[in-house]
Amino acid sequence: MFDRDFRRSTSSVRVLIALAAERGMSAVECLSGTMLSPTDIECTATQELRVVRNVLERVGTEPGLGAEAGSRADIPVSGPWGLALLSSRTMRDAVDVMVRYLDRAAVSGRLTVEETAGVTSVRFDDAECPPDLRVFLAERILAGIKTIGSELFDTGIPSIRVEFRHATPADTSRYHEIYGVVPIFGAAADAVSFDGRSLDVPVPQTNERARSACVQLCRDLLDRHRTRSGVAGAVRDLLVRTPGNIPDQIAVANELFMSPRTLSRRLNDEDASFRGLLDEVRQLMSEQLLAYTDLTTEQVAARLGYAEAASFIRAFRRWKGCPPQEFRLHGGRSSVPTRAPVPAGAH
């Protein structure tokens, strides 16, 4: 069951207010009966659903309005969920995170993933959805998947089929523009489908804006932990440049136009080591992913470049004094004082 009183960002409400304003509806009319003001930054699911109903009562006959709202979704790519998306190793990993993110952000209904004959389908389950809002919410959440893909990757994530349970509208041009295909209407489910083979390839070129936002998040977190300058600072910047594909010491040395031995010597002169800097990056990234997303321990380990979860769990115990799941259960806090990273070569 949904917690309709759980507080969430008003970003979706602001999108609705903007859409309504373009159609002659004031913010006051949109927020009627919600006890919200245009400057509020949080709302409950119940309040957001009331805004949706207010807007639909005024302009709800417009075909594809839900799809339009989903295409304008304000998707944060600078926070932990952005980090989870940008550190995905394959498109399938990215779609899995999108589904998890949108599932948490949804005000009604849930997303499920199904695999059939090489096709991966993301379906909208509207069992808890108010009947009069179902069409809008289904269109909005499926468009959100396309929006996230376009925000993150230069090529987006091309779908092979989009289906809706509702009848074919008089005009389908907006649907084709937003989803990339003309949906099948009157279908058995509300779903967007992808070629399963295309999802198993490495993620495509990341959007520069999204990558920069993610790198800045990592830098800010690391600087809060410990400011680095000189060669150590340059190494740490390279380690967070491509989340999900953390380079090794040889690759970093090549980027800095020096040999691995010279890099080790230069870092030692700054009382640092490649192993220690790598631990800093992995620790801070893991804390964000464990505390603010629902990725599994295995998924976090893969994003940090570990071949197996057991190695990550051992490292996390060394950093925080507890296993990852205990850290998560304590709300992103270790149950014992944080231990300093073990220097390279220490026993």
The tally of CA atoms less than 13 A away on the side-chain side of residue 3 is 7
Q: Minimal CA–CA distance to 19: which of 75, 58, 46?
A: 58
For residue 103, the SS3 value is helix
Q: Residue 192 corresponds to which amino acid?
A: V
Q: Of 340 and 311, which is predicted with more confidence?
A: 311
**Contact between residue 70 and residue 139 where contact means Cβ atoms under 8 Å apart:** yes
Query: For residue 75, is pLDDT > 70?
Result: no
Has residue 290 got a pLDDT over 90?
yes
Report residue 56 as tokens.
């639909």
Task: Please give the full DSSP string across 17-82, using - where no structure is assigned.
Answer: HHHHHTTT--HHHHTTTTT--TT--EEEHHHHHHHHHHHHHHHTTSTTHHHHHHHT-----SSHHH
State pTM to two decimals: 0.80
CB burial readout 97-116, b (16+ within 10 A) else e: bbbbbbbebbbbbbbeeeee
Give the pLDDT score at 339: 45
Task: Flag whether pLDDT at 347 surpasses 60.
Answer: no
The answer, yes or no, to whether residue 179 has pLDDT greater than 90, is yes
Query: Hey, what CATH class is 208-329 in?
Result: mainly alpha
Residue % of the chain over a pLDDT of 90: 59
User: Is residue 209 predicted with pLDDT exceeding 80?
Assistant: no
User: CB neighbours (10 Å) of residue 294?
Assistant: 15
Task: Give the per-residue pLDDT at 265.
Answer: 96
pLDDT one-digit tens code per residue, 232-281? 999 999 999 888 889 999 999 999 999 999 999 999 999 999 999 999 99
Summarize the confidence of residues 79-88 as an average pLDDT: 85
Locate tokens 């949906």: which residue?
A: 183
How far apart are alpha carbons 148 and 43 in whole angstroms? 22
How confident is the model over 21-51, as pLDDT tens digits? 999 999 999 999 999 999 998 999 999 999 9
Enumerate the domain spans of the chain.
1-61, 63-206, 208-329
Partner residues linked to 344 by β-bridges = none
Average pLDDT score over residue span 200-219: 79
CA 14 – CA 11 distance, rounded (Å): 5
